[in-house]
Every structure is written in C-alpha cells, then in structure tokens.
C-alpha cells in the first residue's frame, strides 16, 4: 500500500526541487531589488519579535497563520479570534503611526482582483506556513522556531514577489492600504491553511497532529490486518 511515509518522501522531494527552482527564477529574472530588501527586513522583524514574545503568544503576527494553525487544531477558536483582532489592530495602528511620521496619507496600492496575485500570495504564504508548522509540530526551541519562521517568510516573500507585492499577511495588507479581499486577504489565508495542514498530514508525528494520526491509523491498520492474516497461529500444546 502507498503509505504516509512514501507519500511524504515524494512530496518532500517535489517541494524541495520546486521551491528551489522558483526562488532561482524569481531572483535571476528580477530587475528590481526592492522585494528582496523587503523580504529580508520582514524576516528579521519576525525573528526579532519572535525571540522577544514567542513564549507568550506563539509569535504568529499574521491572521493567515493563526487561521491555518486553528484549522490544524493548534489554536482554540476563542484564541484565534482574539489573535486575529489584535493582529489587524496592530496593522491599522502601524498605518496611522507611519502617516504621522511622514505627515502624508498613503494611497491605496492593492489594485483589483487578479488570479495571478491570488496564487502568488497563496504560494508564498504556503511556504511560510509550512516552515512555521514544521517548527511548531516538532516542538523546537524558541530560537529555532523563530529562525524557521523568519527564513520561511523571507523565502515566501521572494517567491511571491514576481507576481504580487509579496505581503503574505492580511494585517500588513491593511496597514499598507492593500487590503483587497480576493488577493491580499484570501490568498494568504488559503496558502496558510494548505501549508500548515500539508505538514500536519504528511510530516508531523502522529502524536502531535490529528490528521497524521488519522492517516496512519488508516494505512497502518490495513497493513497490520494483512500481516495478521498471513502470520500462522501457534499450535496449542496438548
């Protein structure tokens, strides 16, 4: 039977080669350096704040990540709602603080719905969420977890930047006046749900993920049943 371990190995090779190629293309074909500076700055910010407060909140800082972790049953419904509200409020407050600094309001930059932007934001956030889930499900130390998150966000932004602004975060989209529901909100949410649950389904240990436990029980149960049928029983002593 094509079990979870074999599927995980194939998916791992597919994702590794695919993400590597996408990053090479994104960097090699780019004519501007701004997205890469943004990616590095965002990754450093996540790492710094994660080291500071990860022990308190889990260092999501992103409504899409919170929703993704909620679908994987790593965050309760009440906590998810409160986190998302706090994150959106943080993005909103940052906008007003920035416009106060520069003494000038910002023009909307989100544009209109475009399928390419939706997919780009979903793919970039999926990469970020996959790395975030890896650190969470494997119970890494705080320093390792935030390093994973920072690297994942940096790589995700670079991957998405060929077609979108590379925000990967609805709260940031609100703060920079790019809050378009069909792209910079829906894209990150879809990507985070896929990234978190893909890791939970194929790569997390059964004891840490309900999806992994369910999948292992299906594949493992069938194997165990087949083995039991083939194994001859012991003869009883007279």
Give me the residue spans of the domains in the chain. 42-206
Residue 44 contacts residue 173 (beta carbons within 8 Å)? no
Is pLDDT of 221 > 90?
Answer: no
Helix (H) or strand (E) holding 207: none
What does the alpha-carbon distance between residue 19 and residue 12 come to, in Å, rounded to a whole number? 11
> Which of 70-74, 75-79, 199-203, 222-226 is predicted least confidently?
222-226
The pLDDT assigned to 173 comes to 94
Tally Cβ neighbours within 10 Å of residue 177: 15
What's the pLDDT tens digit per position in 183-217? 999 999 999 999 999 999 999 887 677 666 666 66
Residue 182 contacts residue 119 (beta carbons within 8 Å)? no
The domain 42-206 is classified under which CATH number: 1.20.1080.10, 3.30.70.100, 3.40.50.2300, 3.90.1150.10?
Answer: 1.20.1080.10
Q: What are the CA-CA distances from residue 174 to residues 37, 38, 106, 207 (Å)?
A: 20, 17, 12, 37
The pLDDT assigned to 174 comes to 94
Q: What average pLDDT does this structure show over 11-34?
A: 80
What's the pLDDT tens digit per position in 110-119? 888 999 999 9
Average pLDDT, the chain: 86
The pLDDT assigned to 140 comes to 86
What does the alpha-carbon distance between residue 216 and residue 105 come to, in Å, rounded to a whole number? 54
Tally Cβ neighbours within 10 Å of residue 66: 26
What's the pLDDT tens digit per position in 80-108? 999 999 999 999 999 999 999 999 988 89
The pLDDT assigned to 112 comes to 87
The pTM score is 0.85
The pLDDT assigned to 227 comes to 43
Q: What are the CA-CA distances from residue 1 to residues 4, 14, 141, 147, 222 (Å)?
A: 9, 20, 36, 37, 9
């Amino acid at each position: 039977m094509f079990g979870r371990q074999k599927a995980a190995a194939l998916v791992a090779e597919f994702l590794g080669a695919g993400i590597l190629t996408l990053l090479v293309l994104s960097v090699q074909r780019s004519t501007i350096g701004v997205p890469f500076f943004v990616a590095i700055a965002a990754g450093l910010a996540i790492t710094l704040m994660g080291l500071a407060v990860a022990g308190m909140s889990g260092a999501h800082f992103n409504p899409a990540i919170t929703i993704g972790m909620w679908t994987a049953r790593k965050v309760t419904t009440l906590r998810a709602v409160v986190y998302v509200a706090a994150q959106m409020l943080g993005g909103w407050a940052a906008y007003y603080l920035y416009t106060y600094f520069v003494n000038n309001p910002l023009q909307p930059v989100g544009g209109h719905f475009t399928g390419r932007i939706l997919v780009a934001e979903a793919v970039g956030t999926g990469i970020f969420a996959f790395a975030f889930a890896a650190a969470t499900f494997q119970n890494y130390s705080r320093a390792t977890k935030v390093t994973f998150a920072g690297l994942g966000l940096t790589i995700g932004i670079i991957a998405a930047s060929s077609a979108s602004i590379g925000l990967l975060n609805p709260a940031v989209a609100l703060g920079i006046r790019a809050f378009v529901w069909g792209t910079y909100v829906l894209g990150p949410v879809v990507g985070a749900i896929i990234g978190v649950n893909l890791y939970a389904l194929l790569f997390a240990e059964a004891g840490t993920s309900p999806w992994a436990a369910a999948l292992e029980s299906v594949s493992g149960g069938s194997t165990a049943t087949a083995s039991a049928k083939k194994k001859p029983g012991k003869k009883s002593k007279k």
